[in-house]
């Protein structure tokens, strides 16, 4: 009798296990699709990211891994103010080889700056902010939004303290990276990556 009860109990759990496994496989497929869909967006529409989507993206960044869980090492600044955006855009225009001007933020209306204390000798602060940026880029992709890592134009920005002041970054923090987020003019969909990092197995 006891054995029969045990068998019935096990059988009862089988469908549960089957559906759980199916759910896990589906989730991992969806996750891989997000990874395959992420790309650098270099043409944003004027559409504004909703507060709800922005909060999800910010939360993904804020909860990224940080060395030694020392979250005070990093800081995030969300720039949406059109006047400040215009000033920074104007002050940091890049030039193509043919001399034409390029908006370093590609028309994005939301820029998330990542700053950090230091940087220390081993530059771990750069690793911290990169983790936050990738978390946010993937979240943006999952919401159907475009994003692009911004590094190049920060060199120009750092030379203009009057523009940096507009961002009200807390004292002791330096901008290390930024992420532009917004609606992409091109579809966000799974695609073949531009390349792959080489790997060896031992
Ligand atoms: C650390 C880092 C800095 C980057 N800086 C810039 C940048 O300043 N401007 C830009 O347009 N793209 C920048 N990118 C985006 C890369 O050029 C892009 O990720 C790469 O070409 C691969 O293309 P994909 O993002 O579309 O897959 C940066 C990416 C990384 C990881």
pLDDT of residue 77: 98
Band (9; pLDDT cuts 50, 70, 90): low
pLDDT of residue 12: 66
For a pocket test of ligand 1, which of 40, 134, 154 has the largest count of ligand atoms closer than 8 A to its C-beta?
40
Q: Write down the domain spans for the chain.
A: 1-37, 51-182
Q: What mean pLDDT is reported for the chain?
A: 93
Three-state DSSP class for residue 200 = coil
Q: Which atom of ligand 1 is nearest to the CA of 106?
A: 11
Q: Which atom of ligand 1 is nearest to the CA of 133?
A: 31
The string of pLDDT tens digits covering residues 81-122 is: 999 999 999 999 998 899 999 999 999 999 999 999 998 999
pLDDT surpasses 60 at 1:
no
pLDDT surpasses 70 at 31:
yes
Cβ–Cβ under 8 Å, residues 96 and 102:
yes
Cβ–Cβ under 8 Å, residues 27 and 151:
no
pLDDT surpasses 80 at 64:
yes
107 contacts: CB under 8 Å, gap ≥ 6: 43, 44, 45, 46, 182
pTM score, two decimals? 0.90
Q: Tell me the CATH number for domain 51-182.
A: 3.40.109.10
pLDDT of residue 85: 98
Band (24; pLDDT cuts 50, 70, 90): confident
Angle of CA points 158, 164, 165, to nearest 5°: 145
Band (11; pLDDT cuts 50, 70, 90): low
pLDDT of residue 13: 66
pLDDT of residue 83: 98
pLDDT surpasses 70 at 10:
no
The two tokens of residue 136 are 């946010």
CA of 25 to the centre of ligand 1 (A): 30
Lowest mean per-residue pLDDT among 14-18, 56-60, 67-71, 80-84: 14-18
Rounded Cα distance, 54 and 101, in Å:
29
Percent of the chain scoring above 90 in pLDDT: 84
CA of 148 to the centre of ligand 1 (A): 6
pLDDT surpasses 80 at 172:
yes
CA of 42 to the centre of ligand 1 (A): 10
């Amino acid at each position: 009798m006891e054995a029969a009860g045990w068998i019935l109990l096990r059988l009862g759990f089988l469908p549960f296990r089957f559906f759980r496994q199916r759910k896990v496989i589906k989730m991992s497929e969806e996750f891989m699709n997000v990874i395959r869909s992420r790309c650098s967006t270099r043409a944003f529409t004027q559409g504004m990211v909703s507060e709800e989507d922005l909060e999800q993206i910010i939360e993904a960044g804020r909860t990224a891994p940080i060395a030694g869980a020392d979250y005070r090492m990093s800081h995030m600044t969300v720039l949406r103010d059109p006047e400040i955006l215009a000033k920074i855009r104007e002050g940091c225009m890049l030039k193509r080889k043919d001399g034409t001007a390029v908006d370093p933020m590609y028309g994005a209306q939301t820029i998330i700056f990542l700053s950090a204390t230091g940087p220390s000798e081993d530059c771990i602060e750069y690793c911290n902010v990169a983790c936050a940026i990738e978390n946010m880029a993937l979240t943006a992709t999952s919401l159907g939004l475009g994003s692009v890592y911004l590094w190049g134009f920060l060199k120009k920005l750092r030379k203009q303290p009057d523009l940096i002041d507009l961002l009200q970054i807390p004292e002791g923090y330096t901008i290390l990276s930024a992420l532009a987020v917004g609606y992409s003019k091109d579809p966000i969909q799974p695609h073949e990556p531009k390349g792959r990092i080489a790997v060896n197995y031992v």
